[in-house]
Structure 1
Amino acid sequence: MTFKPLFSTAGTATTAGRHRWVPTTALACAALAAVVLGAALPAVAAPAARPAVVAAGGAGATGDRLPELDPRALRHALSSAPDHVTGVLARVSGPDGHWTGTYGTADITTGAPVPVDGRFRLGSVTKTFIATVVLQLAAEDRVDLDQPVQRYLPGLLPDDYPPIPVRTLLNFTSSLPELTPDDLPTTPDGIVEHRFDDHPLSELVAKAVRHERPFAEPGHMQVYGATGYYVAAMLVESLTGHTYQREITTRILQPLHLRDTTAPQVDTTIPGPHSHGYIAVPRPDGGSRLVDITEQNPGAGGMISTTADLDRFLTALFRGRLLPPPEQAELFDVPDVPSLSGTAGDPRPANVHYAAGLMRVTLSNGVTVWGKTGTTFGYTSGMFATRDLRRRVVYSFNPTSGGGNDLALATRIPTAAFAP
């Protein structure tokens, strides 16, 4: 297997064989959180072509806590993508080293390689942008994070609900219920048939609140979900008179010059270079066929970006360019409450916790990173960084299983970047 440099200050072509890799669980809980402001879907495996990894980059100066950047571990992580992943893209940045690599194909029909500057759908990574806008509105005294959302959106939630503080929407302690597989199409055939359907935020919330809340007292437990961010997006729209996509664009994308990032409302296409997204649809003979679902209604969580733009966004966010100090602190303020995603013996996950729009992950080597994962049909992505930004990783890959089921690969890429 040949690795060809795309751009490098210290790289030459390297050859390596395909390795077997035993997955760890360092980011398994993080991958479980990769839902597109909605529900994860059942996996349907399908074979994919196994082209070579293309990689570039060289290690830079390392910090005291971080291990030296290991390009071989990163190449191995990308090339370990399972057969139901058609393409992978990853970028590592920061003073502790730079590396960019791709694997697989962008188009199974033409065999075109994954573009290093390719754009991809973000899914729940959109939540970090929504949280940032809500925190900006709080800094402008247009919303009080301690006040109940019912004050700002009267009539949205059932009358028998307790007061739900705005802050709890952002840190996943709101107690709002989630959509179930019965609320939206979740089978491969249903996804293909309905991928252009529009589901307004108000419709999604109305469907979710028909279900039982996961716990009684807002702010007293943490459970990852999407409904709180549907409501947060509606809050942005109510307070500003604009769509949340427009507010993200004018408040974040334009000031940071994120020219390859868009927050579409109705456009079903992905502009510019990109890998195609596919879903495996079962055939009557027991096999499956790959259906191209690159074009789809963006819906909630429908932002599109690149690894370079997400790296720029994460850097600006961590450096306080988007928020003043009090609101900046909310990004890293993990509530000290038990989590419903933990084990019976310890209700709090061992290595994943949520703040406002960010998740905190402690890796097996003790390194703590902050970021977000996301998935939608045909696309899974993630962005993580150390708090001091000495090392950052952004990745995207294209699962044919519907999304939310690729724990191993979503674990391997960040682990290879921070804890090889």
Structure 2
Amino acid sequence: MTTTRLSRRRIGVTLLAAALASLAPGAAAAAPASQAAAGLQPELNALVEQGTSTAALAEVRDQGRITWRGAAGTADLATGRSAHADGRFRIASVTKTFVSTVTLQLVGEGRIGLDDPIEHYLPGAVPNGAAITVRQLLNHTSGLGNYLDDPKVRDTTEAGNREFLATGRWIEYTPERLLAIGAAMSPYFAPGQGWHYSNTNYVVIGMLIRQVTGNSWREEVENRIIRPLGLHHTTLPTTSTAIPGPHARGYFKLSEGAADVTRLSPTIADAAGAAISTTDDLTRFHAALFSGHLLAPAQLAEMTATVPIPDAPDHAEYGLGVVRYDLSCGQFWGHPGEIPGYSTGLLGTRDGSRQYAISYNEYDKSDRRKSDRLYRAFEEKALCDSPATSG
């Protein structure tokens, strides 16, 4: 669940049997930090000390081993409890990469055709569904309206944040209702004739997974990714408003001070962004995905076939549930995420050799250029100031 503008920071089980030993939790014990990785704490601290976040957690992984992990800030402003690097958080739109992976596994199994119209699978469900393909839903070229652009669902002004705190965060949405809200909006363009980020696309993909498999997208992600990889701290809540396990709390900044927005209904995000995870689980997922342990080469090639994102910084382009970014040292792949109280970044090399994940509870959004600059300083150092600098 990410805003339309994707800046650098916002923005098959049988294949696993022989190759996942190096990705297991026990095999990922922290290696001695390199000189570059050891210097990451000041950049992480800056996200908090310069006023943009209340807490920040991050991890860097290289060749299957953790080279650095850190935390900064306060997990709970009421108690002063410090943030911890193993805390859980809402990953928002990074969920899309999990959901796209399952969809592409189903493509590899011959159960879904990327260029089939969605009408073929969900007759009558999606307006103009005969002209919208599965691929266009996955890469945001469908033109479907983004339900989060409806201010009745999410208004990011202070008044809107107050309304969300009081009532909006408790609303339980069905996928059908989210689709209806997006479909009631005027299309951004004819299918395939532009690009516009829309969470509605992935709500539809979640419905597609259920139609094809008979299981919810959550069950398929659990069975095909979370359990095989042993991602024990990754959860896919249905209606629970809580974050299980240790976690930093999320806040809105209101004129009178901090307002706790940690608890909310995950149904507002559904398959577009409802998952909860840790930095360690996310880097392990990225390593498995881009090392070829979750998708066959043909499907991974489809995932990384991109379309331009208009006006994107760093020449970012969108694939199927992943974003390609150009950093100073090369191209990197991953996805950003943002949901009330939490922002997430997951990025790494195309060959799966190096990745980093970060969660930061962005509190002060008054100067987005400043917070972007601080985030980029961390990202560049995490991925570029090391022996593994290209993807």
| Of 140, 148, 161, the match for 1:172 | 140
- For residues 290 and 188 of structure 1, the distance between their equivalents in structure 2, rounded to whole angstroms, comes to 12
Q: Does residue 1:362 correspond to 2:330, yes or no? A: no
Residue matched to 1:197: 171
Contact 1:58 1:71 in 2 (8 A): no
| Of 282, 297, 320, the match for 1:310 | 282
Q: Does residue 1:416 correspond to 2:381, yes or no? A: yes
> Deviation at 1:109?
1.4
- For residues 183 and 306 of structure 2, the distance between their equivalents in structure 1, rounded to whole angstroms, comes to 25
SS at match of 1:29: coil
SS at match of 1:69: helix
Alignment of 1:97-108 (within 5 A): 98-108=67-77
Residue matched to 1:324: 296
Identity %: 36
> Deviation at 1:320?
1.5
| Of 265, 273, 296, the match for 2:264 | 296
Matched residue type, 1:311: T
**TM-aligned CA distance change 1:248 to 1:173, over 3 Å:** same
Contact 1:69 1:97 in 2 (8 A): no
The structure whose Rg is larger is: 1
Matched residue type, 2:372: L
More helix by share: 2
> Deviation at 1:165?
1.0
Matched residue type, 1:195: R
Matched residue type, 1:30: R
- For residues 190 and 401 of structure 1, the distance between their equivalents in structure 2, rounded to whole angstroms, comes to 19
| Of 173, 188, 191, the match for 1:214 | 188
Instruction: Describe the superposition over 1:80-125 as per-residue Cα deviations: whole angstroms up to 9, x where unpaired.
Output: 2142411001111104971111110111111111111111101000
Residue matched to 2:119: 150
Contact 1:28 1:407 in 2 (8 A): no
- For residues 277 and 221 of structure 2, the distance between their equivalents in structure 1, rounded to whole angstroms, comes to 13
Contact 1:361 1:370 in 2 (8 A): yes
Instruction: Describe the superposition over 1:372-391 as per-residue Cα deviations: whole angstroms up to 9, x where unpaired.
Output: 11011111111111122332
- For residues 403 and 298 of structure 1, the distance between their equivalents in structure 2, rounded to whole angstroms, comes to 26
Matched residue type, 2:233: D
- For residues 404 and 175 of structure 1, the distance between their equivalents in structure 2, rounded to whole angstroms, comes to 30
- For residues 263 and 403 of structure 1, the distance between their equivalents in structure 2, rounded to whole angstroms, comes to 31
Residue matched to 2:42: 76
SS at match of 1:89: strand
Q: Does residue 1:88 correspond to 2:60, yes or no? A: no
> Deviation at 1:289?
2.5
Alignment of 1:125-274 (within 5 A): 125-159=94-128, 163-179=131-147, 180-186=149-155, 187-193=160-166, 194-216=168-190, 218-274=191-247
Contact 1:102 1:114 in 2 (8 A): yes
Residue matched to 2:81: 112
- For residues 404 and 297 of structure 1, the distance between their equivalents in structure 2, rounded to whole angstroms, comes to 28
> Deviation at 1:219?
2.8
Contact 2:287 2:354 in 1 (8 A): no
Residue matched to 2:352: 389
SS at match of 1:315: helix
Matched residue type, 1:132: T
- For residues 367 and 250 of structure 2, the distance between their equivalents in structure 1, rounded to whole angstroms, comes to 14
**TM-aligned CA distance change 1:389 to 1:322, over 3 Å:** closer
In the alignment of these two chains, the number of paired residues is 348
Matched residue type, 1:245: R
- For residues 394 and 270 of structure 1, the distance between their equivalents in structure 2, rounded to whole angstroms, comes to 18
Gaps of 5+ in 1: 1-26, 34-55, 61-67, 282-286, 343-347
| Of 299, 314, 317, the match for 1:353 | 317
- For residues 288 and 181 of structure 2, the distance between their equivalents in structure 1, rounded to whole angstroms, comes to 36
Residue matched to 1:3: none
- Give TM-score, length-normalised by structure 2: 0.83
SS at match of 1:270: coil
> Deviation at 1:59?
4.0
- Give TM-score, length-normalised by structure 1: 0.77
**TM-aligned CA distance change 1:142 to 1:407, over 3 Å:** same
Contact 1:57 1:100 in 2 (8 A): no
| Of 268, 276, 288, the match for 2:249 | 276
- For residues 314 and 363 of structure 2, the distance between their equivalents in structure 1, rounded to whole angstroms, comes to 30
Residue matched to 1:31: 9
> Deviation at 1:232?
0.7
